[in-house]
Structure 1
Amino acid sequence: MHDDMKNTTPDSHKKKRIVIGVSALLVAILAAGGAVAIYQHSASAQLAEAKSTCAQAADRLRVAQNKYSALINGDEYKSAVAVTDKQVEDGRVVTTLAKDSGDETPTMVACNVEDKTALERNTGLIDKNTTWYETHAKTIDADVKNVVKARDAKTLKDTQTALGRKITDAKKLYDASKDKVKDDKTRDALKKQMDAAGKLKDGKDVKKIKDAQAGLEKAMKTVNDSVKAKQDADKKAAEEKARQEAEAQAAAAAAQAQAQQQYVAPQQSYTPTYTVPQQSYTPAYTAPAAPQQSAPQYSAPAAPAQPATPSTPSTGGNTGSGPISGGHGCGSLCTSAPTDTYVR
């Protein structure tokens, strides 16, 4: 060993120091590189984890959005938002649904960033948006159910009321149509419909109540048609009777007129027939009267009766006119005077 120390030169010591220094430097370099590598690995892992967390949040948001979209695009929601305040007893349910449906949806946030801090911030916004969709979906779903319930309740009440009024109208028609229908079977059918409707007017099935009302309306129409048919038949019969009576009266009047014409015609022909013989009878009677002297001879002696009443009696006797008594002679007066007077 002593010999080895003797054989050691300053150059060899120098070389050793250099080797040791280089080794230390290499160790330091390797240590620094390892630290950098470790740091880089840790940052990458954190970034990847942030991206994964953001992606999971985005998935939850997507689920919430889909449920919300399915709700507002569903038939029940569309039916509910179409309901007016006149279709419900309390219009506040309609107003509430309209208000909640009018809220604006949140602004979309993405995970396509390469910064851990930005990813964490976006993840928080995404979670907030997810909460908004989930909350509003529940709220609107409740609003829709309230509106539908209120609408159905009023619809049921209105339907029941309408059926009750229709039953009342049917009862009036049934009573008023007695002995006024052409076919009594129509009234029997109406009575059956009335009985069936009476059992359903307080029910809860709107469709059955509406069907009962429709059946009642149909039966009422049948009765009304039968009433009109009888009225038309009665009117036609009355018109036919009036026509027959008019024809009978016309025939009687024609017969009476014909009888009067047959009776008057002989009177009109008799007058000229009777007048003509009168006119022909007078000349026929006057012409033969000329040779007869009996009528003039009888009227002519009445004129000389005046001298039989003298105003001054004569005591000296007759004046030559003939004796007053005796009447034995007329002289020429008896023979000539009548002949001259008749001729004139």
Structure 2
Amino acid sequence: MEQPTKTKNTMSKRVIAIIITAIAVIAIAAGVALAVHRHHATSQLTEAKTACAQAADRLRVAQNNYNALINGDEYKSAVKITAKQVEDSKVVTTLAKDSEDETPKMVACNVDDKTALERNTGLIDKNTTWYETHTKTIDADVKNVVKARDTKTLKDTQAALAKKITDAKKLYDASNGKVKDNKTRDALKKQLDAAGKLKDGKDVKKIKDAQTALDKAMKTVNDSVKAKQDADKKAAEEQARKEAEAQAAAQANAQAQQYVAPQQSYTPTYTAPQYTAPAAPQYTAPQQTTPQYTAPQQTAPKPAAPAAPSTGGNSGGGPISGGHGCGSLCTSTTDTYDR
């Protein structure tokens, strides 16, 4: 009977040992599982932090590219271009509109929760996409505006040069024979030939340089034309002065000749203004006696004296008007004077 009792005790001990072993195994497994879980959670958190950090790095690069663009000289120059400076004003409007978009808010990775990290990582990736997209968009807008400006500038410059060439040709033709120095026209022709080769070119600077050279050459020709006009005017004034002096001298000489000519052709003759009439002889009327008549000498007759002017009265003892009281005496006296 003692044998079965020992067997029971032995089996009981084995069961207990198995149970204890099983519990130990379970405990160990649980510990291992917990350790594995904790390790996995830690690993996932670490991975989440790493992913968030990497996303933040990509965002930082995108931000730097965007900031470099909007702070660059090309962008600053483009936003100053007006609608009048481009052919199509839409490019200016588009650049202004895209530049007004606000940048996204900052998101950090300084959290210890895997879920929060994953959410922030997603937001960071979204922001990175915004910066990358807007960088490309604004860069394209800037290039479109600059291109539109350059295209209009080129066309305007070409048109300005074409007009300048037309004006220069007119000046070249019109100035023929009217310049003081014909070398100025030769220089203008040289610049005209050079400008003609550049009028359809694409280099704005060369076209503008050609226009500037034409301006200088045209100014030189105009100055030469003005110099010749001034010289011609001065020469004309000098010629007019000489002609006036010669005419004045000729007139003075003619007047002098007209004054002297009568003296040179004058023949001494009787000149009425210099003639002085001889005084009338003092006539004394004879007394009323027989007159003493004396015959005239046989000499050359003297020039007849002009009759004495009548005094209108009987001065002295002359004949009485009407011939009364004269008789033969009057006749004799008259005959004497007649001779």
Match of 1:235 in 2: 233
Per-residue deviation at 1:244? 4.0
What CA distance in whole angstroms lies between the structure 1 residues aligned with 2:75 and 2:212? Answer: 30
Is the deviation greater in 33-42 or in 129-138? 33-42
Q: Name which of 182, 190, 193 aligns with 1:192.
A: 190
Q: Quick check: 1:126 aligned with 2:124?
A: yes
What amino acid is aligned across from residue 201 of structure 2 in structure 1? G
Per-residue deviation at 1:75? 2.3
What CA distance in whole angstroms lies between the structure 2 residues aligned with 1:295 and 1:67? Answer: 161
Match of 1:306 in 2: 324
Per-residue deviation at 1:74? 2.1
Per-residue deviation at 1:32? 4.5
Distance 1:159 1:23, change over 3 A: same
Per-residue deviation at 1:187? 0.7
Structure 2 residue runs without a partner (length 5+): 261-272, 294-316, 334-339
Is the deviation greater in 30-39 or in 158-167? 30-39
Report 1:172-191 matches (<5 A).
Answer: 172-191=170-189
Deviations, residues 131-167 of structure 1 (Å, cap 9, x unaligned): 1111111111211121122111111111111011001
Q: Structure 1 length normalisation: TM-score? A: 0.69
Deviations, residues 266-304 of structure 1 (Å, cap 9, x unaligned): xxxxxxxxx9x97xx99xx58xx66x7589989946869
Which structure dedicates a bigger proportion of its chain to helix?
1
Q: Quick check: 1:48 aligned with 2:66?
A: no
Distance 1:304 1:211, change over 3 A: closer
What CA distance in whole angstroms lies between the structure 2 residues aligned with 1:47 and 1:37? Answer: 15
What amino acid is aligned across from residue 49 of structure 1 in structure 2? E
Q: 2:324 is paired with a residue of what secondary structure?
A: helix
Q: Quick check: 1:112 aligned with 2:117?
A: no
What CA distance in whole angstroms lies between the structure 2 residues aligned with 1:33 and 1:145? Answer: 65
Q: Structure 2 length normalisation: TM-score? A: 0.70
Match of 2:168 in 1: 170
Q: Name which of 64, 89, 99 aligns with 1:101.
A: 99
Per-residue deviation at 1:31? 4.8
Report 1:210-289 matches (<5 A).
Answer: 210-247=208-245
What CA distance in whole angstroms lies between the structure 2 residues aligned with 1:195 and 1:295? Answer: 125
Q: 1:191 is paired with a residue of what secondary structure?
A: helix
Match of 2:142 in 1: 144
Q: Quick check: 1:203 aligned with 2:201?
A: yes
Per-residue deviation at 1:236? 2.3
Per-residue deviation at 1:253? 7.3
What CA distance in whole angstroms lies between the structure 1 residues aligned with 2:13 and 2:211? Answer: 118
What CA distance in whole angstroms lies between the structure 2 residues aligned with 1:301 and 1:79? Answer: 138
What CA distance in whole angstroms lies between the structure 1 residues aligned with 2:105 and 2:232? Answer: 80
What amino acid is aligned across from residue 85 of structure 1 in structure 2? A
What CA distance in whole angstroms lies between the structure 1 residues aligned with 2:139 and 2:116? Answer: 34
Deviations, residues 288-329 of structure 1 (Å, cap 9, x unaligned): x66x75899899468695369xxxxxxxxxxxxxxx9xx8xx
What CA distance in whole angstroms lies between the structure 1 residues aligned with 2:117 and 2:248? Answer: 114
Per-residue deviation at 1:71? 1.7
What amino acid is aligned across from residue 50 of structure 2 in structure 1? S
Per-residue deviation at 1:179? 1.5
Work out whether residues 154 and 204 of structure 2, in 8 Å CA contact, stay in contact via their aligned partners in 1: yes
Deviations, residues 1-22 of structure 1 (Å, cap 9, x unaligned): x99x99xxx9xxx999999998
Match of 1:37 in 2: 35
Structure 1 residue runs without a partner (length 5+): 263-274, 309-323, 331-337, 339-344
What CA distance in whole angstroms lies between the structure 2 residues aligned with 1:131 and 1:82? Answer: 28
What amino acid is aligned across from residue 236 of structure 1 in structure 2? K
Work out whether residues 285 and 318 of structure 2, in 8 Å CA contact, stay in contact via their aligned partners in 1: no
Deviations, residues 101-134 of structure 1 (Å, cap 9, x unaligned): 1111111111111111111110000000011111
What amino acid is aligned across from residue 166 of structure 2 in structure 1? T
What CA distance in whole angstroms lies between the structure 2 residues aligned with 1:49 and 1:261? Answer: 136
What CA distance in whole angstroms lies between the structure 2 residues aligned with 1:55 and 1:41? Answer: 21
Q: 1:306 is paired with a residue of what secondary structure?
A: coil
Aligned identity (percent) is 69
Deviations, residues 166-205 of structure 1 (Å, cap 9, x unaligned): 0111111112212211101101111111121112111122
Count residues in correspondence.
288
